Amino acid sequence: FSKLNLQAKDGRTFHVLEISDSEYKAKLYLWNPTCDFGQGDFIKFIAEVVSGQASFFSCQIKDIVKVDYEVLPEGCPTRKVQFRYTTDVEALSKDIREFTEAYVSDEAFKSLIYYISEVSFLKNIETAPAGKSAHHSLVGGLLKHISEMFDIYSNIASSEVCKDLRHEFVIIGVILHDYYKFREYDMVDGEFKMTKQGILLGHIYQGAQFLQKIFDVVTSKKPELTFSTLDKQKAIHTLLAHHGQMDWGSPVVPAIPEAIVLHYIDQISAKLNMFSTSNNMEFNKFLGTSPIK
């Protein structure tokens, strides 16, 4: 504990517990504790996270007691509070490249995918969330979301229903559809906040504009490679349409199969994350229901 027996303006007492691993730190605010502590005490508690994200969590204590470290069994399991996602960027990059080699025949699009799947390119978004509060809203959430979407797609790409898809459009969409979340959100006092750039431009527009620039980068590096105007428009459309419908903030609705596939694998990853991070029987406004666990 870093602070004990503090009192809020409304009279409630709380402790501040700092936890860390080899990479990151977080603070837990434990409200209404019923047990006194001293320096060096070991404690066991059950608490419900009621708010917070990234490096700050407000918890309601359910049960808290002192424990004698000497009587704890070896290997006693502990429940880790998750405050960041970690993704093996090198493994993800390798998997995307191997998939591209197997499923994409167009050399220009291969070069583009190889460029955006470089480790250094993916590391640009290593600490970004995929959302402020809806899904994957932790440090590293965006890469986790991309990794999940790629895993889903790579498992269905060989099915008969996907045999006629232009896989390059989907893979570009998986990597870039939320890429500009790293400019849309910023960490302020332990919470993700919208930036001015995010409010004014949004990640969808910025991502589409960014893809147009990447087309120019690839052709400038390899002038022998060309993209047809229609193919460039389809790839950009896949990004623009990934929210699926206009009342969800999509500037256009999916007009090609690849765009609808991107939309649904995006939804699968996002919705399953919402279920996994929701409390039992607690209403989740983004799901519109109270998950049962």
Q: What is the pLDDT of residues 84-128, one digit of tens each?
A: 788 999 999 999 999 999 999 999 999 999 999 999 999 999 999
Supply the pLDDT for residue 39: 61
Which tokens sit at 33? 């504790």
Please name which of 208, 231, 227 lies closest in space to residue 216, comparing C-alpha atoms: 227
Supply the pLDDT for residue 134: 83
Which tokens sit at 142? 């965006």
What pTM was estimated for this model as a whole? 0.75
Supply the pLDDT for residue 111: 97
Q: Kindly compute the dihedral angle of the four CA atoms of residues 53, 56, 62, 65, in this order, to the nearest 10 degrees.
A: 150
When the pLDDT of each residue in the chain is averaged and rounded to a whole number, the result is 86
Out of 178-187, 235-244, 255-264, least confident range: 178-187
Supply the pLDDT for residue 34: 67
Band of residue 72 on the pLDDT scale cut at 50, 70, 90: low
Q: What is the pLDDT of residues 25-40, one digit of tens each?
A: 677 888 777 667 766 6
pLDDT higher at 202 or 36: 202
Band of residue 73 on the pLDDT scale cut at 50, 70, 90: low
Q: What is the pLDDT of residues 172-195, one digit of tens each?
A: 999 999 999 999 998 887 678 899
- Phi and psi, residue 7, nearest 5°: -125, 130
CA distance 95 to 93: 6
Q: What is the pLDDT of residues 135-174, one digit of tens each?
A: 988 889 999 999 999 999 999 999 999 999 999 999 999 9
* Residue 22 pLDDT > 50: no
CA distance 168 to 256: 13
Residues with Cβ within 8 Å of 93's Cβ and at least 6 positions away in sequence, in order, are 117, 118, 119, 122
Supply the pLDDT for residue 113: 97
Task: HSE, CB side, 13 Å, CA atoms: give it for residue 257.
Answer: 9
* DSSP per-residue codes, 173-207: HHHHTTTTHHHHEEEETTEEEE-HHHHHHHHHHHH
